[in-house]
Structure 1
């Protein structure tokens, strides 16, 4: 075999096992599958790049969403980055990253601000949209509701897509070295704070402890990055309130207090009113589709009105068609209803049911 032929053979063998086109194609197919179920999510340009941090104290980036980053003719398209380092994870984790970025895309399409602190802090609005797309979120002290996991229903819904993605995940990128980084023994520069805009201020610690400084544009307090904005409390400032509003947040009025997709708090996956994920319906909603639970146990529940109202949710894919009553059953029902409208004293059939407290029609003494 000649040298050139040998090199060509080796190159072809390597590229057969490592196909960049197959990887990007699988990611684009997964994105298309997400858009098929959620048409509001826009088309996007998917790229694979570096997710390594630039500083030693930063974490690895699995992906990002950037609006209007690409130009296609007269249209501007957002960018979805999937980090090459993250391709070493399980296929489900990579797909969860895609669905996470799809949540940001949905927020952008609806004009909802779902992050702050330059995109690091994920607020409750992001958590709500993530639940709509079929994910459960947990709260991180520095990232907010950024950590996401697929629900069982979502995992089953995208099982084939995740399997196809796994076939293409044959290689990944090594993280770049960042060094040990530098540490400071003291800090004489005060406290660096951000609002929701985000704009930044640096003030002394004593000044910050006197009371929060409120941004006149967004109405949010300037807070350090290590303070949880959702739980921050100060005697002069209500948690999460806007400027000029003296009312503090009341958990009983906050619908997200009932957001418990894992069931850890309420024993059953729980969602606020009107926030149930796709694929879960109440008995009434099933009935409008001529369906019934079919013997299945409730998969989740909805709580509202301070937890005093509850509606159980059932999986749509396990529901069965409603039974059709036979002629004999309908005749028996008509007979029973007629008996309830027949007065035992005068024997007349009334247009209303005989009251149980009197046992007679309204005309009989």
Structure 2
């Protein structure tokens, strides 16, 4: 004869039963509230999981968006992950993470590439979409425009939703230990670069400064992770349009006035050191900042620096013309063309990357053919 054992002792490994159903329901309701105000934001599967870093030099992840990660019958749905470690934050911060991931979802629906560097760098397109959803962004040196905060109007609109979240936030996940790790003591091949696919390569600093290495798949240059791709101007191969302006190991080349050649006798084009250009001559970037473009004019002069390894052409300000603005039809055509480049011809799925030309299919289909 056996008797039932009544377990009444609660220990570290034996706890009373709990349910996270209310938490998931609150997160799903918050997502539904976002979609109600912004119908283009797609339906998604909301999950709570680990946000702990896997390496000592990585930071905590509050959430992520993954396109077409779940299958429900004939429907593919994206995934929105909210990290359990982040549930210790204020309810408004948790909701801001949801709205942040909704921005990525909106970018995916519209075929806009809003991130690079494996999703870490958030570009200006992300900032624009975040503002559309009611957030303000600030620029971080490593993450771009990833940091977001709710505007006062958005905070008021979702006040009831945030209050419901506050009632449901009764759980959180403990961070996982990553260990100290072993740091590298030398760096003989010290520039780690990646394109927008993203693919990575490591090259020497001297090789990087020689000129751009361009990815044949996405057409973007390989740049270090800590470089702002939106504003970076890569070194060029040439040191000038003509003449004998070759970089040498002469210590005199460290003197910026070596490149002072206002008549163009030496370099074939009027040449000035960095920050010594005369008034009335601007680079393409400076013209863009003024909403102008060269307008078909030939370069009037050039700037050389970094021992002649970098060049920027100068154009006359008085001959510059206003920048052209794309019409709605042109923007729609561009969006259609970019979406076509991300659509696999075999499975017809829209991928978060351009279909590689060397395979003609997405990475999933190409892997199945092997």
TM-score band, normalised by shorter chain: 0.5 to 0.7
Gaps of at least 5 residues in structure 1 are: none
Q: Deviations over 1:270-298 (max 9, x none)?
A: 99999999999999999999999999999
Q: Structure 1 349/250 Cα, relative in aligned 2: closer, same or farther at 3 Å?
A: closer
**Secondary structure class of the residue paired with 2:144:** coil
Based on CA coordinates, which of the two structures has the bigger radius of gyration?
Answer: 1
- Worse overlay, 211-220 or 84-93: 211-220
Q: Deviations over 1:239-290 (max 9, x none)?
A: 99xx999999999999999999999999999999999999999999999999
Q: Structure 1 139/358 Cα, relative in aligned 2: closer, same or farther at 3 Å?
A: closer
Shift of 1:151: 0.5
Shift of 1:82: 0.4
Shift of 1:84: 0.4
Give the Cα–Cα distance (whole angstroms) in 2 for the partners of residues 27 and 345 of structure 1.
35
Shift of 1:64: 0.5
Q: Structure 1 73/152 Cα, relative in aligned 2: closer, same or farther at 3 Å?
A: same
Q: Structure 1 174/214 Cα, relative in aligned 2: closer, same or farther at 3 Å?
A: same
TM-score under structure 2 normalisation? 0.60
Shift of 1:72: 0.2
Does the 8 Å CA contact 2:244/2:267 hold for their aligned counterparts? no
Q: Structure 1 267/214 Cα, relative in aligned 2: closer, same or farther at 3 Å?
A: closer
1:348 matched to 2:349? The reply is yes
Shift of 1:213: 1.8
Q: Structure 1 249/7 Cα, relative in aligned 2: closer, same or farther at 3 Å?
A: farther
Does the 8 Å CA contact 1:132/1:277 hold for their aligned counterparts? no
Shift of 1:235: 5.1
Shift of 1:181: 1.3
Give the Cα–Cα distance (whole angstroms) in 1 for the partners of residues 59 and 297 of structure 2.
43
Q: Structure 1 152/190 Cα, relative in aligned 2: closer, same or farther at 3 Å?
A: same
Shift of 1:185: 1.4
**Secondary structure class of the residue paired with 1:201:** strand
- Worse overlay, 26-35 or 299-308: 299-308
Does the 8 Å CA contact 2:111/2:335 hold for their aligned counterparts? no
RMSD: 22.5
Gaps of at least 5 residues in structure 2 are: 366-370
Does the 8 Å CA contact 1:18/1:171 hold for their aligned counterparts? no
Aligned length: 362
Does the 8 Å CA contact 1:132/1:275 hold for their aligned counterparts? no
Shift of 1:163: 0.3
**Secondary structure class of the residue paired with 2:4:** helix
Does the 8 Å CA contact 1:53/1:178 hold for their aligned counterparts? yes
Shift of 1:112: 0.8
Shift of 1:4: 6.7
Shift of 1:209: 1.2
Q: Structure 1 264/24 Cα, relative in aligned 2: closer, same or farther at 3 Å?
A: farther
